[in-house]
């Protein structure tokens, strides 16, 4: 089966670009399932009912997230009801929402797991211990396992990729909003990329108007972040997973700039 994994969608510019390209790419690559990170889909901060519905209408099957998931308070009202919206599983117990879900696709159940890194990130439970708990909890309930590892450093993400190589079918990094060029199949058959990148304004600093971030760096003063407008970037990968051997046989990087 073919799964397309799409990077963090940022604001309206990102949502429009997601809508513009996802259906086209689904057809072009014969994609069976789309997983997208929606943590910045509402005005760059968090996810709202409206931004989530736009992603679902635009072709998303499962929405993952990260440290920005709580930024729009609307999410508290629906995160527990949405079957295909996940947040990092290694929040301590008591946080709303869930860290993984199972998406049924024809004869295969696809487990989509979301975890946060700990290097330069909020304090979280250990993602390496947490994934062990999750894998044994899911057990035979799923046939294919996909992880969105939302983390800052390349090293933590690569370590997770090798840690899970051969035990899950896909490990993709998110959070930095910059796509890395290292899409690969790890030695034991796990498809991997350090960061998917983002879907959002191309002439921006990680989605935000450059002037604001330049001012922040040059004055060290706090500033209100506005999502930039204009042409977009669309960043994703398509993985081809052999459901019989449980190995990823191909990974293709998608990077569209307008």
Q: Which residues are catalytic?
A: 68
Count Cα neighbours of 150 within 13 Å in the Cβ-side half-sphere: 31
| Phi and psi at residue 127, to the nearest 5° | -65, -30
Parallel/antiparallel/unpaired status of strands 144-150 and 170-174:
parallel
Binding status of residue 66 toward Fe ion by CB under 5 A = yes
Q: Which stretch binds Fe ion (CB under 5 A): 34-42, 114-122, 133-141, 236-244?
A: 34-42
Parallel/antiparallel/unpaired status of strands 144-150 and 62-64:
unpaired
| Phi and psi at residue 157, to the nearest 5° | -70, -45
The first and second tokens of residue 38, run together, are 């929606």
Binding status of residue 40 toward Fe ion by CB under 5 A = yes
Binding status of residue 41 toward Fe ion by CB under 5 A = no
Report in angstroms how near the CB of residue 235 gets to Fe ion at its nearest. 12
Binding status of residue 235 toward Fe ion by CB under 5 A = no
Report in angstroms how near the CB of residue 132 gets to Fe ion at its nearest. 23
Which among 173, 216, 3 has a CA at the least distance from the CA of 183? Answer: 173
In the bound state with Fe ion, the residue whose beta carbon lies nearer, of 64 and 67, is 67
In the bound state with Fe ion, the residue whose beta carbon lies nearer, of 105 and 225, is 225
Q: What share of the chain is helix, strand, coil (3-state, %, to 5)?
A: 25, 30, 45
# residues contacting Fe ion (CB under 5 A): 6
Q: Which stretch binds Fe ion (CB under 5 A): 4-12, 15-23, 52-60, 188-196?
A: 4-12
Q: Which stretch binds Fe ion (CB under 5 A): 35-43, 104-112, 136-144, 215-223?
A: 35-43
Rule CB under 5 A: which residues touch Fe ion? 8, 39-40, 66-67, 175
């Amino acid at each position: 089966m073919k799964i397309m994994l799409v990077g963090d969608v940022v604001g309206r510019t990102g949502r429009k670009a997601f809508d513009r390209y996802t259906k086209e790419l689904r057809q072009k690559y014969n994609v069976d399932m789309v997983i997208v990170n929606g943590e910045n889909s509402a005005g760059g901060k968090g996810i709202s009912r409206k931004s989530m519905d736009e992603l679902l209408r635009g072709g998303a099957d499962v929405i993952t997230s990260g440290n920005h998931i709580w930024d729009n308070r609307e999410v508290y009202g629906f995160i527990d009801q949405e079957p295909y919206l996940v947040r990092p599983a290694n929040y301590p117990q008591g946080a709303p929402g869930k860290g993984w879900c199972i998406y049924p696709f024809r004869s295969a159940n696809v487990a989509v797991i979301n975890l946060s890194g700990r290097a330069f990130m909020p304090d979280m439970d250990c993602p390496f211990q947490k994934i062990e708990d999750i894998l044994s909890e899911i057990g035979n309930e799923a046939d294919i396992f996909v992880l969105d590892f939302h983390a800052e450093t390349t090293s933590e993400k690569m370590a997770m990729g090798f840690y899970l190589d051969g035990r899950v079918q896909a490990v993709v990094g998110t959070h930095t909003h910059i796509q890395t060029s290292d899409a690969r199949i790890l030695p034991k058959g796990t498809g991997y990329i350090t960061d998917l990148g983002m879907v959002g304004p191309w002439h921006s600093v990680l989605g935000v108007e450059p002037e604001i971030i330049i001012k922040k760096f040059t004055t060290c003063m706090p500033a209100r972040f506005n999502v930039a407008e204009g042409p977009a970037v669309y960043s994703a990968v398509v993985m081809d997973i052999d459901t019989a051997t449980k190995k990823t046989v191909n990974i293709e990087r998608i990077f569209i700039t307008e």
